[in-house]
Structure 1
Amino acid sequence: MGFVLWGISGALQSGATEALIYTELDRLGAAGRYAAVIGRARAIDTVAVMASMAVAAPLFVLGGYPLIGVASVLACVLATAVATTFPEHRTREENEEASEGGYAGILRDGLREVRADRSIRRALLLVAMVTALWGSLEEYIPLLAAGTGVAAHVVPLLVLLVSAGTALGGVLVATGRHFTDRALAGILAFGALGLGVGAISGLAAGFVAIAAAFCAFQMASVLADVRLQQSITGPARATVTSLAGLGTDVGTILVYGGYAAASEPAGHAEIFAVSAVPYAVLALVLLLGGFRVRRAVTRADLSDP
């Protein structure tokens, strides 16, 4: 039941959070800050997960699973309290339009916009392709670390190193909100190189390269999300963004299945190294202009002289 509720929670948030933040920033004429805000949020998210892992062990010693459960519930309550402080400024016309069409109308508007605009379809595909693979590989980092032959107590430290790289990527992405497709291609190519070299080395030292790769992938994921938000012009922003989340989830399931199938004939290092190839190919496609996305006009653009 807990997993069902967790899934419902994720489905309700998917796309809605990003759409709300972008819309409110655009209302203030600050849509250009979206990358910085989302990047910092992703960094805080990663750090919070790292912190929860650190406190889980002593909490378990003190109170076992019941105390862990109570702490988890309190974390959700705290998150809910923070969410209620998000600003939202809808006009009366927007509220009337949403109430007339209902959820079905909003869904139709979102699907219609995706079908009608090739630029949005490209942005959706880019988000899913960039995010799904490295997001799935992250779950296998402990197995890759153990495969290097280090002592058991060193494995969490290597995982922590990769998490630190992911958090750093969220912070650094604030400097890349105006990156061109060529620059994004360079980030993906760097990530592919770091992932491939770090994994195939089979050494604990190779996790420095893997951490750098995950830093690059986090940056690329946020920048892809920025491109999607900038390409949307219709009223169903949350629906369009949630479709990107759906594509990412489907891609994640496919990666899990592929990893399971490949784990029989190949080891973790080989699978990680091969997983770098799609990012290298995607970087080449971006370099050739295969994912060129049209940027919508924002309030900040309208206010510029």
Structure 2
Amino acid sequence: MTATLYGYSFLDEFVLLYPVYALLFSDTGLSVWQISPLFALWSITGVLLEVPSGAWADAVSRRLLLWLGPLLTAAGFALWVIVPSYWAFAAGFVLWGAGGALGSGALEALVHDELDRLGAADRYARVMGRARASGLIAVMAAMGLAGPVFAWGGYPAVGTASVLACLLAAATASRFPEHRTPPEDDDNWTATLRAGLAEARADRSVVGALLLVPAVTAVWGALDEYTALLVRDFGVPDESVPYLLLLIWAGATAGSLLAGPAERLGTAGFAGLLAGAALALAVGATASSVAGIGLVALAFGGFQLATVLADARLQDRIDDSRRATLTSLAGLGTELATVATYGAYATIGATAAHSTAFAVFAVPYLVTAALLAAGRAARR
């Protein structure tokens, strides 16, 4: 199963359109005021479908949703390059958002249940860490290949390559093992959703694990969109910015690969990890040097590691029959917190440098670390 998982994670992120789709929109004649609502539509689609899709995965086949998601994304990318227009871009973002929502929760639930069936549930963090690393490597590879492929064949070439990657991801998803027995016919996805929400309300440990995922994941995930601007503010020439961004992505990849050795971290260790990464982010962002970028890469590695571990903690606390539902609920929290981070960043960035904004966003991680440490002390 792990080979299928790593291949799926790579292909799902190997999208050559990533670095150039904003250029496609602009070259088609769209203004910034037209492009921004498209990004909002993408986020809104994910928010609306995140939890229902998780409940659907629990009610039917998780492998089915992992197969269907990339096909929807492929259809969206095909629309962009075949009939480039505002409404085609909007429809593509809806399809992309729906495809991502179908896989969110279903993948984690399927992997955990299959590992548990093999008596290897304790390897979940290690396996998912490697899967995340595979996806990050795919992003870096796509960034490196997008330039020469675009120079050779323009938007049709990078679009075709992206569609092909999605189709291969769907084919790979069909090879996932799934030994789980779906619920009885009289138990539909709405009943599964209600049961999952009831479980979340009833168990304080589940509530804490659900809240920890967005607390760890959302802020650094949003900051990633601004790293190019931060690096350029350091005085780095535009042509060198992509190489330093690869350094930051390499840091996040290393964090994923450390999930196995770090999976035994207790609450105190987890709090220390968050605090250390937050300090590295604040110091690195305000250093205004290449060494500072190295610290930002170190911070992103810590946050990526914490993201994998937070997901593993959640999986340990929830019931198998509602695993995808509750994982998607955590994903919904992450989506909402990410949107809030974008808004806060826009407010701070209107009057302060990017380095200052990055340093300010280290504070939520210090607060989370302090709350974890305080909760541990209270339990003791």
Q: TM-score, normalised by structure 2?
A: 0.74
Check 1:290–1:243 CA distance in 2 against 1; reply closer, same or farther (3 A cut). Answer: farther
Q: Deviations over 1:183-236 (max 9, x none)?
A: 101110110111000001122220111111001001101111011000102511
Give, in whole Å, the separation in 2 of the partners of 1:7 and 1:274: 29
Displaced runs of 4 or more, over 6 A: none
- Choose which of 188, 208, 215 in structure 2 pairs with 1:129: 215
Q: Deviations over 1:55-104 (max 9, x none)?
A: 0001111110001110010010111111111110023xxx243x321111
The secondary structure found in structure 2 opposite 1:101 is coil
Check 1:271–1:137 CA distance in 2 against 1; reply closer, same or farther (3 A cut). Answer: same
1:72 aligned residue: 162
- Choose which of 227, 238, 241 in structure 2 pairs with 1:141: 227
The secondary structure found in structure 1 opposite 2:321 is coil
Give, in whole Å, the separation in 2 of the partners of 1:79 and 1:119: 35
Contact persistence 2:263–2:309 (CA under 8 A)? yes
The secondary structure found in structure 2 opposite 1:100 is coil
**Pair 1:182 & 2:268 matched:** yes
- Counterpart of 1:38, as a letter, is M
The secondary structure found in structure 2 opposite 1:179 is coil
Residues 33-112 of structure 1: pairs in structure 2 closer than 5 A: 33-91=123-181, 95-97=182-184, 99-112=185-198
Give, in whole Å, the separation in 2 of the partners of 1:292 and 1:132: 27
- Counterpart of 2:343, as a letter, is G
2:243 aligned residue: 157
The secondary structure found in structure 2 opposite 1:289 is helix
Could you say what the CA RMSD is over the residues aligned between the two structures, in angstroms? 1.4
* Matched residue count: 289
Contact persistence 2:133–2:257 (CA under 8 A)? yes
- Counterpart of 1:140, as a letter, is Y
Q: CA deviation at 1:149?
A: 0.7
Q: CA deviation at 1:291?
A: 10
Give, in whole Å, the separation in 1 of the partners of 2:196 and 2:112: 16
- Choose which of 201, 209, 216 in structure 2 pairs with 1:115: 201
- Counterpart of 2:273, as a letter, is I
**Pair 1:192 & 2:303 matched:** no
Give, in whole Å, the separation in 1 of the partners of 2:258 and 2:228: 25
Q: Deviations over 1:29-67 (max 9, x none)?
A: 100010011000100100100000100001111110001
Give, in whole Å, the separation in 1 of the partners of 2:189 and 2:363: 40
- Counterpart of 1:239, as a letter, is T
Structure 1's unaligned 5+ residue stretches are 294-305
Q: Deviations over 1:226-280 (max 9, x none)?
A: 1100010251110000000000000000000111111111110000011111111
The secondary structure found in structure 1 opposite 2:350 is coil
**Pair 1:17 & 2:101 matched:** no
- Counterpart of 2:159, as a letter, is G
Give, in whole Å, the separation in 2 of the partners of 1:205 and 1:178: 30
Give, in whole Å, the separation in 2 of the partners of 1:9 and 1:253: 19
1:241 aligned residue: 327
Q: CA deviation at 1:285?
A: 1.3
Give, in whole Å, the separation in 1 of the partners of 2:183 and 2:363: 49
- Counterpart of 2:175, as a letter, is T
Residues 260-271 of structure 1: pairs in structure 2 closer than 5 A: 260-271=346-357
**Pair 1:254 & 2:335 matched:** no
Structure 2's unaligned 5+ residue stretches are 1-90
**Pair 1:284 & 2:358 matched:** no
Give, in whole Å, the separation in 2 of the partners of 1:112 and 1:126: 19
Contact persistence 1:126–1:291 (CA under 8 A)? no
Give, in whole Å, the separation in 1 of the partners of 2:374 and 2:247: 33
- Counterpart of 1:84, as a letter, is S
2:303 aligned residue: 217
Contact persistence 1:199–1:270 (CA under 8 A)? yes
Contact persistence 2:215–2:334 (CA under 8 A)? yes
1:2 aligned residue: 92
Give, in whole Å, the separation in 2 of the partners of 1:292 and 1:121: 17
- Counterpart of 2:93, as a letter, is F
**Pair 1:31 & 2:117 matched:** no
Q: CA deviation at 1:292?
A: 9.5
- Counterpart of 1:172, as a letter, is L
Give, in whole Å, the separation in 2 of the partners of 1:22 and 1:278: 29
Check 1:159–1:33 CA distance in 2 against 1; reply closer, same or farther (3 A cut). Answer: same
Q: CA deviation at 1:289?
A: 2.2
Give, in whole Å, the separation in 1 of the partners of 2:155 and 2:376: 50
